Every structure is written in structure tokens, then in C-alpha cells.
Structure 1
């Protein structure tokens, strides 16, 4: 499990690699969000919509100072809407020192912080980030270990360890699950994930996200093999059936 440890927090100017920013996001946490998409990810998800985020060195190198200067331009909108700053990816925990410093600075400005992560990392390296974040959006791609390995190319266990830790410290968390017909939609897979989520003390809601093919063109441009050409987005009926499995266990789901 490779994680960048460059640019430790004591550096005068902490720097990292980003893919892009979104100044008025509305889907990655509450309210209006300033979303930073980091570069670099150890997962190889079959349905990834940002395959151009795979390699950190392909991103743009920026300092936390630069990001904070840009973030402050939108602070009025964020605070008025109950929003804040979300760091997504790629995988933000691939650059833990960089992300922790972004959140620390945001907290100094009174801004809400959210981390959108797969949870795939060394938990000890993630602790400084978790300490600085108000909300975690934890993507659990599958609960069946074999399906998870097939979908992502990595092991499920680090994500489950992250989920248990977040529950132990009662860190507010939203669970995200992407419903992919023929891939992650097996009834046992959803039921076992719902059973697991029901054991956690900190989950505010589960988001069942429909698979989409908006990033397919990027795979083609990058010369990567896209294995889901023939996979269609789930129907409303399929989404509702998945949501019902979570609701049956008393879990709030959207």
C-alpha cells in the first residue's frame, strides 16, 4: 500500500498534487462545497470516472497557501449554505500530510471540512487527516471481498478497518455505494454491506449511487481498456430495491 509521505506538516509551505477544483459543488457533502480533487490513487476501479487521476505526477503541483487563497473567495457562499471544503480524488489519503494541512487551515477559517475517500490506506497515516475533518464520505465499493478485489484491484480490509475506527471515535460519516448492474448488485453483497453498516454508530446516511458512463471517453483517450462498455446504468427499480435493503435495517438511505 504505497502512500506519498513527502511534504510533512512542519514544512514552511506544504505542497501537493491536484487534478482539478470545483468551486460550487453540491453533491460532496452538505451545502455548497469547494471541492479539491487530488491526483494519485492506488485503486483501479472498473467504473472510475476520473482515470486521469491515477498518477500523482500527472497532477498540478500547488501549495496549501494557493488553495486557501482561492477557497477564501467562496467562503461567503459556503458559510451561508452550511457548506464548506471537500477533498476528493483520486484518493486524498495518498497525500495525507497535504490534505491534513488543507483541513487544518480551513478549520482556522471556521470552515466545515469533508473527506471523500475509499479508506484504502495505512490507518496510522490517515489519523492526522481524520483528526482535522468534520465529515467522512466513505466509499465502500463492495462488501464481498472477491467482488471488491475485482472492482478495485485492491483488498477490502483497509476500508473496513477505517470504517470501524470512524465508528469507534464517532466521526460523522456518510457511506457511499455505487450500484453497478452485474457487478456490485448481487443481493448478498448489498445485504452484507447493510448488515455491516448497521453495526456502526456514526453513519448519518447511506448514498446508493447509480453507475454511470460519463468518464468512459477518458479511458479511451488514455488508451485504457474499459471493461464496462456493455453495462447500463441501473433502473429506478433496481436502485429502489437496493435502498430497501438498507432501510429494512433501520438505516437512512438516499
Structure 2
């Protein structure tokens, strides 16, 4: 993985009108990687953009939260890097994913990357998002997105606010918009013992996802503490230090709840 060092980039709000008429050639990029299995189907070129409005308690990349933790990078540079791997990616049935941080904090730059990955490089495209800033995703951006990886952190609004620092409603609104558009979605649900594993919480997310009609897969992601060292390096308290990973039985039970709503869950 090539990790790009930090620099400061001011955050400016982007209106849908501005996004539709102008695509800036630069954005704040944290890093890029080649990934298999967790960022969409097949082997993928994943671009991690800097900046995120959420502060998830279990985040394994807190170093992506601020725009200034990234490097001012041109879309040309990202596309040139991805182009080195297109034959390998195509042979592996993969594509390109724009992730973060939260890519919709930079919706115009993210849209440019998705557009060029799809139309210049011919790659399957995916957007990895919490959905909190889904209103910033223009219809044009979504047309250039073959798959949305949507993180629904939990169902109870109070727990969601505790986990992320933000309200749940914008994510649900975005999910419904994607359903109305017929956009393919993979839902990701992080199973955290004592936090997101309450039966009512799992049932709520499963029933909601099952009712959308456009969710082709659900990934149950077991909580882990692999990012704890980053929290320490940033002098941030990692409050889930004593939280264990879920047992295999608990993961299997959560999968069955999603499957009971007609969803393919792994």
C-alpha cells in the first residue's frame, strides 16, 4: 500500500448545482491499496479519501477523519496509478472502489474518480459510504456507481448516535433513495458485543434491508481491535479496549436473522 503523507486542505460545502457543472481535478487522498474480499467483489483498486463526519467508536482508520490528514492529489494521478492494474483486476473479476474516511465529504472529486474509473478504465465501480452525506451524491455520481457499499451501523437511534456521533435518519433516507433508483447495494453491519448485537438492533437492520428490494448481499463484520494502535498514536481514547470480538456462534446467529428476511448474508 502506498500511504500518502498529510497536508492541510480546507473543507468547502459543495452544492448539487456546483457538482453538476464543475469537477475539480484534485482532492484529499489518504492512501490507496489493492484489496480482495472486503471492498466489493473481486480484487479492487481502493482509493481512500480523507475526511469523515462520523467518529465511530470502533473505527479502524481514525487517521482518515480529517481532511488535512490526506495529500492534495490530482484525479489524473489516481487514475494513472489504477491503470497499472486494470488487466489484473479485470482477470480477477474486480473493479475500483472509492472509500474513506467518507468519500461523500468530497462528492465532486469522488464523482470524478468513479466516472473515470468506469468510463476511461472500464472498471466496475463501487462507493463505500456510511450514507450520512448521501444527499451530496448527485444522480450523475450514482449513475457512475455500479455498487454502493452501505454501512448501517445499528438500528436504535440512540445507540447509533453513541456509536457514530451522528443521527441515523440520513443513512436511512439515502438507503430508500438508492432503492427507488434500483441501485445495487451491499449492506455492511459491524457486530460489536454489548453495543450493536442486541436482538432488536439486528432485527431492525435486517427487516429494513430486506424490505428495500435492492440489497444483494449483507456482510456481517465482526468487531476487532486492529486499529487500536492508531487511536493511541493520535492520543485518542479507545473506549472499546475491553470489548471482545463476537463469537462464531453469535456471528452465525446474526447471519440467520438477515437470512430470515430473504437476504444473502455472509
TM class by shorter chain equals over 0.9
Q: Which residues of 2 match residues 130-149 of structure 1 at below 5 A? A: 130-149=142-161
TM-score, normalised to structure 1, is 0.95
Aligned residue pairs total 253
Aligned residue number for residue 61 of structure 2:
50
Q: Which residues of 2 match residues 89-238 of structure 1 at below 5 A? A: 89-108=100-119, 109-238=121-250
Does residue 74 (structure 1) correspond to residue 94 (structure 2)? The answer is no
C-alpha RMSD of the superposition: 1.8
For residue 62 of structure 1, the aligned residue among 58, 65, 73 is 73
User: For 1:106, what is the secondary structure of its paired residue?
Assistant: helix
Superposed displacement of residue 113, structure 1: 0.3
Structure 2 unmatched runs, 5+: 1-10
Q: Deviations over 1:155-181 (max 9, x none)?
A: 100100111011111101100000000
- Distance in 2 between the 1:89 and 1:101 partners? 15
- Distance in 2 between the 1:9 and 1:168 partners? 21
Superposed displacement of residue 14, structure 1: 1.1
Superposed displacement of residue 11, structure 1: 5.2
TM-score, normalised to structure 2, is 0.91
Q: Deviations over 1:10-51 (max 9, x none)?
A: 557511011111024432111110001110000000000000
Q: Deviations over 1:195-230 (max 9, x none)?
A: 111111110011100000000011011011111011
Does residue 27 (structure 1) correspond to residue 38 (structure 2)? The answer is yes
Superposed displacement of residue 128, structure 1: 3.3
Structure 1 unmatched runs, 5+: none
CA contact (8 A) 1:37 1:87 kept: yes
Aligned residue number for residue 5 of structure 1:
14
Superposed displacement of residue 231, structure 1: 0.2
